């Protein structure tokens, strides 16, 4: 169950407490996230929405260990990541996080197979074991017959599928998706969302997704809005808007 | 090493750029090797000089002679084993371009002082008995297609009116070392002495002596120079290597020239390769950020960039060395004996390769460290 009130139990897969991120631009301090709380259980699928500059991507970066908070803590599967050293965090990312980016970010000079294999090169798996894992991941995203294609030989939707295969190939604890359909047409976006739903429903993956698109967000279990640096549940936001309107 | 495929794939990302960078590397290595070979040719006399040999020249300069009577006086000094003398002839064979050194030598002592020059005994015997005889180095014989028994006409303008001296080629000498000098032409000092004008008679261009022990070099040199001090022909005695170094210096400060050009080559190459790597890394900022995001360590990112720079260096270096290996023998022939033979040794090839790898490493270091320090969040934001 997803909670933003900081009262989730310690069994939550992801526990965020008092997360604060402040940037300094010129002489001015910009408070992007302010004492934010979040609890996400295994198998949850949560979408983050909010206007540009509201801190969605910052939150995703913090959850993925790509950035460090100004204050607060993030605990994932019992590991507190906020105080990990840079190299420890790198190893933690390799083990626990699968990233799906808006622009796919595949390596153009590697084939789909080689792109998906990249995270496995950081493990001790043998070449044949890696092949097996890559083939499984490519089957999940329905591109087993495109393994030897280069990114330029694939459509946008197919490229994003390869990105998803790369994200899931090492069986990470959770997936972070930053606008996964932002660069796709509606049909391809639907296919990608169907795939992400399948990863959650069929394979039990935990997915945290940033999106601008309400249609895409509606496919998540819960949609959270980032507003003035804090998370608000969609239903609560609706009530606040209505209350504001009546007043 | 698991990322080697990525390194190779990145290398071939921009083929034209790769070809141009490897090409500039190859040309620079060719030039570097050529400079090293020329320097080595100039220093060869120093390198192969006998530690137990001293050279005595006229204190005024190499072109001034000394009386032949000095030979016996030098021989009498304790510590001196053998003494021989040479005289520069300076003749021309057919054309002035066909330069090779010719010396009037003392046939009685030459072999004892220079045991590294190998002449078959029967040929040497014929030479000693033939007043017009000559011995030539294998390289010069090959250059002009000379064989034992040939008659060699050499025109001379240094001693009296221009005259052509005729020699019988009695033998061909060789050396043990590939780097040995096989270009000299020797004939008997007695023939020289009989045919030169009075002012040049009974003179030696320089003396070479072999010591009982190299440890005596300083003492014997001092004794010789003291012996002839305040005479009309004061001497300057030095080790053969010092003499060879001084001789090489007559061409100018070759060492400085070569080091200067070499440094320019080095820095130009560094800038070219460094620039290529910097552009290459900049183009791939987002890809490197993704690699870091999925768990590739900062150190591995550095190695990826360094690996790529080293591969370029290695390919370019090997190509340059191959070109040098093919070109230098031809160049040596084209120089027509102006320099000792240009030899590309295994040491030089290894040195060239080390140079190439070093340049590759240094040029990849700055962009590599930049990529290593790059923050993933900032890099992804730039996409």
The ipTM, to two decimals, is 0.88
Cβ contacts (< 8 Å) between B382 and chain A: which residues? none
Q: Which domain holds residue B170?
A: 60-233
Between B240 and B338, name the one with better pLDDT: B240
Residue B165 resides in a domain: yes
> Per the CB < 8 Å rule, is B295 touching A119?
yes
Task: Examine the pLDDT at A4 and tell me if it is beyond 80.
Answer: no
Question: What would the pLDDT profile of A182-215 be if each residue is shown by its tens digit?
Answer: 888 888 999 999 999 999 999 899 999 999 899 9
The answer to whether residues B225 and B363 belong to one domain is no
Mean pLDDT of B68-85: 94
> Per the CB < 8 Å rule, is B294 touching A121?
no
3-state secondary structure of B39: helix
Residue B106 φ then ψ, to 5°: -90, 105
Percent of chain B with pLDDT strictly greater than 70: 94
Q: Look at A2-6, A127-131, B294-298 and tell me which has the smallest mean pLDDT.
A: A2-6
Number of CB pairs, chain A paired with chain B, less than 8 A apart: 65
Question: What would the pLDDT profile of B260-302 be if each residue is shown by its tens digit?
Answer: 888 888 888 888 888 888 998 888 888 999 999 999 999 999 9
* Distance between B298 CA and the closest CA of chain A, angstroms: 8
Task: Examine the pLDDT at B98 and tell me if it is beyond 60.
Answer: yes
Q: How far apart are CA B32 and CA B17, in angstroms?
A: 22
CB-based contact B202:B69 (threshold 8 Å):
yes
Q: Which candidate from A67, A87, A99 shows the least CB-CB separation from B294?
A: A99
Residue B81 resides in a domain: yes
The answer to whether residues B228 and B149 belong to one domain is yes
- State residue B36's pLDDT score: 85
pLDDT band at residue B246 using 50, 70 and 90 as cut-offs: confident
The answer to whether residues B151 and B10 belong to one domain is no
Q: How far apart are CA A164 and CA A157, in angstroms?
A: 11
Cβ contacts (< 8 Å) between A66 and chain B: which residues? 293, 376-377, 380
The answer to whether residues B282 and B165 belong to one domain is no
Question: What would the pLDDT profile of A208-221 be if each residue is shown by its tens digit?
Answer: 999 989 999 999 99
The answer to whether residues B276 and B354 belong to one domain is yes
The answer to whether residues B323 and B368 belong to one domain is yes
Kind plus residue range of the DSSP H or E element containing B208: strand B206-211
Cβ contacts (< 8 Å) between B291 and chain A: which residues? 118
- State residue B202's pLDDT score: 94
The answer to whether residues B69 and B115 belong to one domain is yes
- State residue A246's pLDDT score: 41
- State residue A94's pLDDT score: 93
The answer to whether residues B163 and B207 belong to one domain is yes
Q: Look at A12-21, B33-42, B88-97 and tell me which has the smallest mean pLDDT.
A: B33-42
Residue B244 resides in a domain: no
Mean pLDDT of B319-348: 82
Domain count, chain B: 2
- State residue B178's pLDDT score: 67
Residue B34 resides in a domain: yes
- State residue B266's pLDDT score: 85
Q: What residue of B is the nearest CA neighbor of A170?
A: B294
The answer to whether residues B226 and B91 belong to one domain is yes
Cβ contacts (< 8 Å) between A95 and chain B: which residues? 295
The alpha helices in chain B, defined as continuous H runs, are 4-11, 15-48, 70-75, 110-113, 121-129, 138-144, 189-195, 217-227, 240-249, 254-283, 285-293, 298-334, 346-373, 376-381
Residue B342 resides in a domain: yes
Mean pLDDT of A87-102: 92
Mean pLDDT of B167-173: 96
Q: Look at A15-19, B166-170, B330-334 and tell me which has the smallest mean pLDDT.
A: B330-334
Kind plus residue range of the DSSP H or E element containing A97: strand A97-100
pLDDT band at residue B336 using 50, 70 and 90 as cut-offs: low
Q: Which domains does chain A have, with CATH numbers?
A: 42-54+95-246 (3.40.50.300)
Cβ contacts (< 8 Å) between A94 and chain B: which residues? 294-296
- State residue A244's pLDDT score: 53
Bridge partners (DSSP) listed for residue A3: A39
Q: Which candidate from A66, A103, A121 shows the least CB-CB separation from B377?
A: A66
Count of residues for chain A? 247
pLDDT band at residue B125 using 50, 70 and 90 as cut-offs: very high
Residues B247, B253, B255, CA angle at the centre, nearest 5°? 100
Residue B51 resides in a domain: no
Mean pLDDT of B307-314: 92
Q: Which candidate from A61, A114, A118 shows the least CB-CB separation from B294?
A: A118
Cβ contacts (< 8 Å) between A122 and chain B: which residues? 294-296
Residue B53 resides in a domain: no
The answer to whether residues B149 and B209 belong to one domain is yes
Q: Look at B65-74, B143-152, B339-348 and tell me which has the smallest mean pLDDT.
A: B339-348
The answer to whether residues B205 and B276 belong to one domain is no
- State residue B252's pLDDT score: 67
Residue B323 resides in a domain: yes
> Per the CB < 8 Å rule, is A87 touching B12?
no
> Per the CB < 8 Å rule, is B380 touching A67?
no
Task: Select the residue from A25, A107, A150, A176 to test the B interface by mutation, using most B Cβ atoms within 10 A.
Answer: A107
- State residue A245's pLDDT score: 47
């Amino acid at each position: 169950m997803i909670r933003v009130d900081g009262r989730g139990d310690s069994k939550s897969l992801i526990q965020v407490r008092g997360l604060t991120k402040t940037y300094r631009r010129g002489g001015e301090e910009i408070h992007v996230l302010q004492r934010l709380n979040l609890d996400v259980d295994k198998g949850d699928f949560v979408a983050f929405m909010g206007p540009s500059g509201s801190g969605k991507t910052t939150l995703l970066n913090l959850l993925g260990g790509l950035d460090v908070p100004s204050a607060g803590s993030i605990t994932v599967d019992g590991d507190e990541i906020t105080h990990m050293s840079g190299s420890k965090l790198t190893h933690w990312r390799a083990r626990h996080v699968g990233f799906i980016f808006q622009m796919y970010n595949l390596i153009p000079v590697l084939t789909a197979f080689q792109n998906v294999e990249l995270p496995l090169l950081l493990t001790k798996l043998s070449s044949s074991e890696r092949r097996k894992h890559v083939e499984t991941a490519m089957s999940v995203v329905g591109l087993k017959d495109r393994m030897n294609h280069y990114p330029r030989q694939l459509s946008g939707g197919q490229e994003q599928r390869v990105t998803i295969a790369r994200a899931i190939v090492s069986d990470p604890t959770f997936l972070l998706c930053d606008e996964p359909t932002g660069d796709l047409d509606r049909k391809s976006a639907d296919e990608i969302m169907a795939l992400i739903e399948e990863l959650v429903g069929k394979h039990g993956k935990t997915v945290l997704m940033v999106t601008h698109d309400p249609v895409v967000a509606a496919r998540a279990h819960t949609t959270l809005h980032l507003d003035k640096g804090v998370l608000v549940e969609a239903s609560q936001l609706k009530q606040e808007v209505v209350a504001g309107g009546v007043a | 090493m698991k990322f080697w495929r990525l390194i190779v794939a990145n290398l071939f990302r921009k083929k034209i750029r790769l070809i141009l960078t490897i090409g500039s590397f190859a040309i620079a290595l060719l030039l570097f090797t050529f400079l090293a070979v020329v320097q080595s040719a100039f220093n060869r006399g120093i390198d192969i000089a006998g530690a137990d040999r001293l050279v005595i020249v006229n204190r005024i300069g190499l072109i001034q002679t000394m009386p032949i009577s000095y030979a016996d006086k030098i021989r009498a000094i304790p510590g001196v084993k053998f003494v021989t003398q040479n005289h520069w002839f300076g003749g021309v064979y057919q054309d002035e371009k066909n330069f090779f050194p010719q010396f009037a030598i003392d046939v009685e002592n030459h072999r004892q002082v220079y045991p590294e020059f190998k002449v078959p005994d029967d040929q040497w015997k014929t030479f000693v008995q033939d007043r017009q005889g000559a011995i030539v180095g294998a390289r010069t014989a090959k250059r002009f297609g000379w064989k034992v028994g040939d008659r060699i006409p050499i025109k001379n303008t240094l001693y009296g009116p221009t005259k052509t001296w005729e020699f019988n080629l009695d033998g061909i000498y060789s050396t043990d070392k590939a780097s040995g000098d096989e270009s000299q032409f020797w004939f008997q000092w007695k023939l020289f002495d009989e045919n030169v004008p009075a002012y040049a008679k009974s003179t030696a261009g320089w003396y070479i002596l072999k010591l009982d022990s190299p440890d005596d070099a300083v003492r014997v040199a001092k004794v010789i120079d003291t012996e002839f001090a305040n005479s009309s022909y004061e001497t300057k005695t030095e080790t053969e290597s010092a003499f060879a170094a001084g001789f090489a210096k007559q061409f100018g400060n070759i060492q400085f020239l070569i080091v200067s050009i070499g440094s320019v080559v080095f820095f130009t190459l560094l800038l070219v390769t460094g620039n290529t790597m910097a552009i290459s890394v900049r183009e791939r900022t987002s890809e490197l950020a993704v690699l870091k995001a999925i768990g590739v360590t900062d150190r591995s990112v550095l190695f990826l960039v360094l690996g790529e720079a080293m591969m370029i260096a290695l390919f370019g270096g090997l190509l340059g060395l191959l070109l040098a290996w093919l070109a230098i023998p031809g160049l040596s022939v084209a120089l027509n004996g102006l320099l000792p033979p240009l030899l590309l040794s295994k040491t030089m090839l290894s040195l060239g390769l080390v140079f190439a790898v070093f340049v590759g490493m240094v040029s990849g270091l700055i962009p590599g460290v930049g990529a290593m320090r790059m923050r993933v969040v900032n890099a992804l934001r730039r996409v």
